[in-house]
Amino acid sequence: MMEANATVAVAVAAPSIGGSPEVVSPPGKEQQVAGAGILLQISMLVLAFVLGHLLRRHKFYYLPEASASLLIGLLVGALANISNTETSIRGWFNFHEEFFFLFLLPPIIFQSGFSLAPKPFFSNFGAIITFAILGTFIASIVTGILVYLGGLVFLMYRLPLVECLMFGALISATDPVTVLSIFQELGTDVNLYALVFGESVLNDAMAISLYRTMSSVRSNDSPGQNFFLVVLRFLETFVGSMTSGVGVGFVSALLFKYAGLDVENLHNLESCLFVLFPYFSYMLAEGLGLSGIVSILFTGIIMKHYTFSNLSEKSQNFAAAFFHLLSSLAETFVFIYMGFDIAMEQHSWSHVGFIFFSILFIVVARAANVFSCAYLVNLVRPAHRQIPVQHQKALWYSGLRGAMAFALALQSVHDLPEGHGQTIFTATTAIVVLTVLLIGGSTGTMLEALNVVGDSCNHPLEEKMEGNNGNIELLYDEGTSSGSKLKMKLKEFHESTASFTALDRNYLTPIFTSQNDDHDDEDPADEVPQNSRRSRGFRDHG
């Protein structure tokens, strides 16, 4: 009898702040709802991996794994939205940007830096930096200005200039997971893969830094603020975050070199410490008010190049498999998460013109990004290293928008006034769905049309790199007077690159790695193909 009374007392309506009664769930009900939500998430993950395996096995490129995961989330979210389970499921399956930035994104970004293939990435490093830094800046500014001008001439919903630039920054974050998986399946040119992959890795960090810079400018409410101070704030965030990540990476290398953890009974401790360092780098940067994305990216690059060789063989195998597993789970879950939340969220479809013209403007901005940067890169490259027009078109077509743009748009709902943030979020949602489903599904056809897959693509880069430690030996026509100044600058840049390679080989590698004297004279490029294949294999989750 007392138990029954207790149950009734718990289930009785309790007064809320507004005076209306609020029903309190009986004990155990919340655990049951939480268990049902977690079971739904695990079921969708299992379905996504099985469906992705079947699609990959049958070489059905019109529906890549990322697109299939997004569709699964959309379908389940739509079913939950029209059923009576919306309120119970929504509480346990809602896209929280804090959860995304703190738990899902770090392993994905770290794996991106950790799995970089050294040869093609660093030999194309100048082009990658140009596309990722300058190109993203161009795309952000072009998109923001076009959206602002479109509002001025009443083509679309009008937003203030700073908010248009915030939208331009967040929508410039590319996420070509789908494209890269198809690139690997079809055997695309190694240079093209390095450009798309390298740009996507650094592009996210650049987009976040730009968005936060514009957001801080808006919060200061000073439209006439000195442009120099804005640029200085951005450089402070980006360079500070990069320095933080590189520093943590070097500290980890020294720790694993001198701590003596590579013995038989300390493998667990060694592996645990290796796994903790990336999160330490991310949280350190966030705690200092910097960008954790930039920090953990460079930590991944440094830890792969220096720290990884200080681990025992067992710990190396574990670390590589663990981060690949964690990244695959996080990426698949992000697309499911995103699809579910798109179906459940309230969208502002009243401004259809904003969505339509935003799609046109980002296509124009992406073209301005790719073709202008490719032109600049080709100006300083010798004839045999020019970026072909086919590769430029593939780069332009590979500009899918994904989880990063979606998370920043969801954050803008809180950062901007209600109508403005909701309009940006709805437009971003439409752009993400269209690019992932349409562009992702047609990537294979595009690559075949551009003749950059299979036997049709050659690999002059790998041939030029052999015997040169992964560096390109630039060729100059001494008798040519035109463009001599530009070629001299390129030669100086190449000499500085070669000197950095020598610095790495002669000083950094001996200091930060456990290098035996017997291997000092070996060519480091001899180990690159194996590491490169391992890195690409770990990245290939699609």
For the chain, what are the domain ranges? Answer: 97-450
- Say if domain 97-450 classifies as CATH 1.20.1530.20: yes
CA nearest 172: which of 215, 197, 209?
A: 209
Report the pLDDT averaged over residues 349-359.
84
Ranges 123-127, 144-148, 272-276: which has the least confidence? 123-127
What is the tens place of the pLDDT at every residue in 457-497? 544 444 343 333 333 333 333 334 444 554 555 455 555 55
What sections of 124-265 are H helices per DSSP? 125-129, 136-152, 161-171, 177-186, 190-220, 227-258
What sections of 345-459 are H helices per DSSP? 352-379, 389-397, 403-415, 418-434, 440-441, 443-450
Does 80 have pLDDT greater than 80? Answer: no
- What SS3 class is residue 188? strand
The chain-wide mean pLDDT, for the chain, equals 76
248 Cβ contact partners less than 8 Å away, ≥ 6 residues apart? 277, 280, 281, 284, 295, 299, 302
Give me the pLDDT at residue 362, please: 93
Long-range CB pairs of 517-525 (<8 Å, 24+ gap) are 523/469, 524/469, 524/470, 525/119, 525/465, 525/466, 525/467, 525/468, 525/469, 525/470
Give me the pLDDT at residue 86, please: 52
Give me the pLDDT at residue 347, please: 67
pTM of model > 0.85: no
What is the tens place of the pLDDT at every residue in 50-76? 998 888 888 787 787 888 888 898 888
Does 540 have pLDDT greater than 60? Answer: no
Q: How confident is the model at residue 167 (pLDDT cuts 50, 70, 90)?
A: very high
User: Whats the size of the chain, residue-wise?
Assistant: 542
Report the pLDDT averaged over residues 209-225.
74
